[in-house]
């Protein structure tokens, strides 16, 4: 993987080739690897197409994303946890 495909920004790793922002989240005593797709960041949090906008959306909703990743992991999801639109409560759609 070339250096141009990975950008690290304050514990968020933007994987340009996979269109995913990867991060670490706490799950009790354990640290888990999780990710959220650019598509989800755009659909759920209004992120734009620019990298800065995607990272801003991640950082602005970090608590929500980490909590969802922890919940999905505790529901026996294998690692790494990849969040999808289905992981979000329906009332948050479009926000």
pLDDT in tens, 11-44: 789 999 999 999 999 888 889 999 999 999 999 9
Q: Tell me the two tokens of residue 10.
A: 């304050």
pTM: 0.83
Alpha-carbon gap, residue 44 to 54, rounded angstroms: 11
Would 91 be classed as within a structural domain? no
| pLDDT mean over 63-82 | 92
CATH number for the domain spanning 79: value is 3.30.160.140
Would 74 be classed as within a structural domain? yes
Residue of 77 and 13 predicted with greater confidence: 13
> CA nearest 15: which of 26, 25, 3, 27?
3
| pLDDT mean over 36-58 | 96
Expressed as residue numbers, the domain containing 76 is: 3-86
| pLDDT mean over 56-79 | 92
> CA nearest 81: which of 20, 17, 5, 2?
20
Q: What is the domain count for the chain? A: 1
> CA nearest 70: which of 12, 14, 15, 31?
31
Question: Over 80: is that where the pLDDT of 80 sits?
Answer: yes
pLDDT in tens, 1-11: 334 565 566 67
Would 59 be classed as within a structural domain? yes
β-strand 12-15 against 20-27: which pairing, if any?
A: antiparallel
Would 95 be classed as within a structural domain? no
Q: Tell me which residue has tokens 């999780």.
A: 34
């Amino acid at each position: 993987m070339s250096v141009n495909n990975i950008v690290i920004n304050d514990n968020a790793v933007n994987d340009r080739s996979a269109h995913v922002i990867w991060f670490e989240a706490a799950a009790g005593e354990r640290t888990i690897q999780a990710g959220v797709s650019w598509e989800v960041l755009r659909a759920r949090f209004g992120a734009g197409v620019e990298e800065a906008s995607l990272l801003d959306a991640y950082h602005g909703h970090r608590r929500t994303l980490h909590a969802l990743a922890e919940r999905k992991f505790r529901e026996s999801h294998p690692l790494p946890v990849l969040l999808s639109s289905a992981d979000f409560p329906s009332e948050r759609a479009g926000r």
